[in-house]
């Protein structure tokens, strides 16, 4: 059983900083759609990784706190 960390990219920011190469957008109109898609992807991939042990979950971005609290 492999050990692994899980990284979840939240690609939304309040503003786009000129020096930043991480993928993010400032238009947050599709946040709900993004979260639904992310949950669906997790559901689809979960069986494939059911024997893995994830000891870390990291939320990056972007700015994860741009998501509404309930979505986060
Ligand atoms: S991820 Fe951080 S540094 Fe990059 S654009 Fe967003 S706020 Fe700026």
User: If you measure from the C-alpha of residue 12 to the centroid of ligand 1, how many angstroms do you get, rounded to a whole number?
Assistant: 9
User: Six-digit token pair at 6?
Assistant: 């899980």
Around Cβ 54, how many Cβ atoms within 10 Å?
11
pTM: 0.89
User: Six-digit token pair at 65?
Assistant: 């706190």
Q: What residue segments make up the domains of the chain, in order of their start?
A: 3-66
Are 51 and 3 contacting, i.e. CB atoms less than 8 angstroms apart? no
In sequence order, the β-bridge partners of residue 10 are 61
- For 60, residues 6+ apart whose C-beta sits below 8 A from its C-beta are 7, 8, 9, 10, 22
Q: Tell me the best of 7, 12, 20, 26 to mutate to test the pocket of ligand 1, counting ligand atoms within 8 Å of each CB and taking the most.
A: 20
User: If you measure from the C-alpha of residue 8 to the centroid of ligand 1, how many angstroms do you get, rounded to a whole number?
Assistant: 15
Alpha carbon nearest to ligand 1 atom 7, residue: 13
Q: Would you write out the chain's pLDDT as a tens digit for each of its 72 residues?
A: 788 999 999 999 999 999 999 999 999 999 999 999 999 999 999 999 999 999 999 999 999 999 999 998
């Amino acid at each position: 059983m492999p050990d692994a960390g899980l990284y979840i990219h939240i690609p939304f920011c309040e503003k786009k900083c000129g020096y930043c190469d991480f993928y993010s957008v400032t238009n947050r109109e599709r946040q709900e759609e993004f979260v639904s898609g992310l949950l669906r992807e997790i559901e689809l991939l979960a069986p494939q990784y059911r024997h893995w042990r994830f000891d870390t979950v990291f939320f990056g971005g972007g700015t994860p706190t741009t998501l509404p609290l309930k979505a986060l």
